[in-house]
Amino acid sequence: MSSILQSGASQQCCDKLSLLFSELERIDLILQCYYYAYKGPRNGLNNEFLLSESEVLARVNQPLGRPHWVKDELLIKQAQNTESPEVAGGLTELVDRFELTDFERDTLLLGLLPHFDSRYYGLFSLLQGEKQSQLPSFSLALTLFCRSEMEKWAQQASFLHRSPLLCCLLLTIEGNKETQAWSQTQFITDSGVYHFLLGHHYLAPALAQCAEWHRLPTLPDYPESLKQVLGPVLLTEDIEPRPVVLLQGVEGNARAYAVANIFASENRQTLVVDIGKFVESNDDIILMQLNSILRESRMRGAGSILRNMNLLKEKSSSFLNYLSDLLAQPGLRVVCLVEPHSPPLRLKKVATLLIDMPVFTHEDKVQLLMTHLPEHSSPDIDLVSLSQRYTFNPESLPLILQEAELYQQQRDPSDMLQQCDIRKALNLRSQQSFGQLAQRITPKRTLSDLLVSDNIIQQLQEILTAIKYREKVFACGFKDKVGYGTGISALFYGDSGTGKTMAAEVLANAVGVDLIKVDISTVISKYIGETEKNLSRIFDLAELDSGVLFFDEADALFGKRSEVKDARDRHANIEVSYLLQRLESYPGLVILSTNNRSHLDSAFNRRFTFITRFTYPDEAVRHKMWQVIWPKNIRIAPDVDFEKLAKRANITGANIRNIALLASFFAGENENQEIIDSYIETALARELAKMGRLTL
């Protein structure tokens, strides 16, 4: 007997079992009556397991509400207090949701018995006359529950592949040898059904690898507007089969969380399924797993959320036809999460409804952060800037704030929660993996480290001002006037070494985020369409990330569109158009740099919020560069004249950095490791030679 009975069940479990066991007692008594009527007592069966023939007749006339093998005193007492032996609870829900006939219900209960007591294996073997037949067969079920041959023939339809018992995997077939007749096929009730009837929150190991029951907070948050749209489709009982909802939105916007909360508001569970975790399996296994998952949802009246459905479409078009059959079942409430740029999902046998996930606005984020901040938070926390710079939602914020409190404890246990603690948690949580497409740079240099002209400094300050007041200005009505995105973009152009990359790093540091530097060589592909896919991936991840997106040497990607002479030219122009579209809609700060502005397509000019030219530093800036480039531990000879160097050499800050480093290498031969004028002159000559300039 199952350990759950041997060890004593909880009061709640007893309530459920007492309602189920009254029906199991009826099936058990039918089995024992058949045993005594047609087989008679036989040696080899443990007689302690069966009741005597008189005891069976007594129980038939006056059932006790429990099978004879239940010895749990608490359960017996509960069963005795049950006024009606009628089945209720899980079994009633199961019968109603799968529209089972009385015969199908009894067959399912027959296959359930071995889960409770292994001694039924011996009884089934004895009743069917074969040692190998330790599970009930179709023939045995027909014999036990049908009163005539005509009824047997009619009820054989319950074992066809389209019947709910087999189609919905309520029964598991345990082999059907070629030498056996179809009627001798053995079955057992699926373990998922067994655990459901016991009230267990259970998924079979094979299903648990790709699906999980969604866990909700005590006080769920969900967009009310989304519930108003989904309610008439998923929460009503009037539509059968219900359409499949395609909920469109970007990855990471808490769609699954929102849908699960909507189901929870109606006391329904939600099963979240990642199709990508078993799409590599063969078709039969995939269909079996999907069918089992849908059975679990339908059995519990739960909702299902399917991720990565596009992977099934890529696998084979015919596969969607099989999927359409599965989703056309009554009693299903299915939401598929689809991306904005993914191909449409069309199902032949079930209607689909495309819905856009409501945008989680900046105002929503400020209110959410204000609501969830702990009491010991500093009043100086800038909710607006945090909400503007970082991506979070009702699902992720509780963990973020929990991590922020841990950082606060490490920093100073006696202090209040500060903005730096929240920003650190937000920054780590928002980091996306770009793989080889981009490099994440944690900025260290500030505006004080950037030695450029006052005009460039002023323009960088203007970019920071635009970032700071963007949301405030758009809230005044400009958001409706500007119909193509609200992001801020900048083009940095000028000769190599003039500070474009460093300026991008400085801006990222000033905003308090990382710099996401795109590796152009990994983005561009010779295969048609691959470059566009790489760019789409970069922008999608960057929208979830809090970092500043930086395209260095951007003219390789954003070059001028050319006359179409072949397919490659046409697709190259498509890539430029696609970039224009994503640049307009990108919500954060994106910076492009190029050595030659004229190489960029002219259509980009009006898309940029700022265009900044980086020029060679003038004499005053070069003089300052020569002074500050040396680390504190490097000694400079008194006769080194930085003013003279600034006048003589019209070079960039990058050149000065290279010269200082090379001169320091030369000083390694000097016992005092002092930088003298001759070392600098030699290093300067080498740097000019690299530039193709032999003299100053």
Specify the pairing of strand 515-518 against strand 548-551: parallel
| Contact predicate 592/489, CB 8 Å | yes
Look at residue 385 in the predicted model and tell me its pLDDT: 81
Look at residue 135 in the predicted model and tell me its pLDDT: 93
Quote the percentage of the chain above a pLDDT of 90: 27
- Phi–psi pair at 614, nearest 5 degrees: -105, 120
pLDDT level of residue 563 (50, 70, 90 thresholds): very low
Is pLDDT above 80 for 155?
A: yes
Instruction: Map tokens 């209040």 to a residue.
Output: 416
117: left (phi over 0), alpha (psi -120 to 50) or beta: beta
pLDDT tens-place string over residues 296-352:
999 999 999 999 887 776 666 667 778 888 888 899 999 999 887 777 778 888 899
Look at residue 469 in the predicted model and tell me its pLDDT: 78
**List of residues 6+ apart from 430 with CB closer than 8 A:** 390, 391, 392, 544, 545, 546
pTM reported for the whole predicted model: 0.72
Q: Which of the pair, 146 or 534, is modelled with greater confidence?
A: 146
Residues of the chain by 3-state class (helix, strand, coil), percent to 5: 50, 10, 35
pLDDT level of residue 483 (50, 70, 90 thresholds): low
E strand or H helix at 577: helix 567-585
Domains and CATH numbers, the chain: 3-197 (no CATH), 205-356 (3.40.50.300), 362-429 (1.10.8), 447-614 (3.40.50.300), 619-690 (1.10.8.60)
Extract the tokens encoding 620: 């005053």
Look at residue 478 in the predicted model and tell me its pLDDT: 55
Mean pLDDT calculated for residue range 27-40: 86
- DSSP code at position 568: H
The HSE-up count of residue 234 (CA atoms within 13 Å, CB side) is 36
**C-alpha angle 198/203/204, rounded to 5°?**
105
- Under DSSP, is residue 204 helix (H, G, I), strand (E, B) or coil? coil
Look at residue 178 in the predicted model and tell me its pLDDT: 56
What residue spans of 183-316 are helical by DSSP H? 191-197, 205-208, 224-230, 255-265, 283-300, 310-315
Q: Virtual CA dihedral for 79, 81, 86, 88, nearest 10 degrees?
A: -80
Is pLDDT above 50 for 561?
A: no
Look at residue 27 in the predicted model and tell me its pLDDT: 95
- DSSP code at position 231: I
pLDDT tens-place string over residues 353-404:
999 998 887 788 888 899 899 988 999 898 888 887 788 888 889 899 999 9
Look at residue 190 in the predicted model and tell me its pLDDT: 95
Range with the largest mean pLDDT of 177-186, 340-349, 549-558, 658-667: 658-667
Extract the tokens encoding 659: 């010269």
| Contact predicate 170/296, CB 8 Å | no
Q: How far, in Å, CA of 415 to CA of 436, rounded?
A: 40
Mean pLDDT calculated for residue range 624-644: 86
- Phi–psi pair at 652, nearest 5 degrees: -90, 170
- Under DSSP, is residue 493 helix (H, G, I), strand (E, B) or coil? strand
Min mean pLDDT across 85-94, 357-366, 457-466 is at 85-94
Look at residue 145 in the predicted model and tell me its pLDDT: 95
pLDDT tens-place string over residues 49-88:
888 889 999 999 999 888 988 876 555 554 445 443 333 4
Is pLDDT above 50 for 569?
A: no
Range with the largest mean pLDDT of 149-158, 223-232, 667-676: 149-158
Q: How far, in Å, CA of 337 to CA of 307, rounded?
A: 5
Is pLDDT above 80 for 160?
A: yes
Mean pLDDT calculated for residue range 165-183: 80
E strand or H helix at 171: strand 171-173
Specify the pairing of strand 303-307 against strand 334-338: parallel
Quote the percentage of the chain above a pLDDT of 70: 84
Range with the largest mean pLDDT of 152-156, 392-396, 551-555: 152-156
Is pLDDT above 90 for 495?
A: no
Look at residue 550 in the predicted model and tell me its pLDDT: 92
Look at residue 72 in the predicted model and tell me its pLDDT: 63
- Alpha-carbon separation of residue 70 from 17, 25, 51, 64, 74 (angstroms): 10, 10, 13, 11, 10
Q: Which of the pair, 423 or 251, is modelled with greater confidence?
A: 423
E strand or H helix at 611: strand 610-614
Burial of residue 417 (CB within 10 Å: 0-12, 13-18, 19+) is buried
- Under DSSP, is residue 295 helix (H, G, I), strand (E, B) or coil? helix
Instruction: Map tokens 């053995």 to a residue.
Output: 186
pLDDT level of residue 6 (50, 70, 90 thresholds): very low
* Mean pLDDT taken over the chain: 82
pLDDT level of residue 674 (50, 70, 90 thresholds): confident
Mean pLDDT calculated for residue range 237-266: 87
What type of residue sits at position 369? Answer: L
- Under DSSP, is residue 635 helix (H, G, I), strand (E, B) or coil? strand
Look at residue 527 in the predicted model and tell me its pLDDT: 66
**Chain centroid to CA 616: how far?**
47
Of the candidates 393, 360, 332, 603, the one whose C-alpha atom is nearest the C-alpha of residue 484 is: 603
Specify the pairing of strand 438-441 against strand 515-518: antiparallel
Look at residue 65 in the predicted model and tell me its pLDDT: 87
Mean pLDDT calculated for residue range 180-186: 85
**C-alpha angle 651/653/655, rounded to 5°?**
60
pLDDT tens-place string over residues 501-551:
999 999 998 888 889 998 777 787 766 677 778 888 888 888 878 889 998
The HSE-up count of residue 267 (CA atoms within 13 Å, CB side) is 0
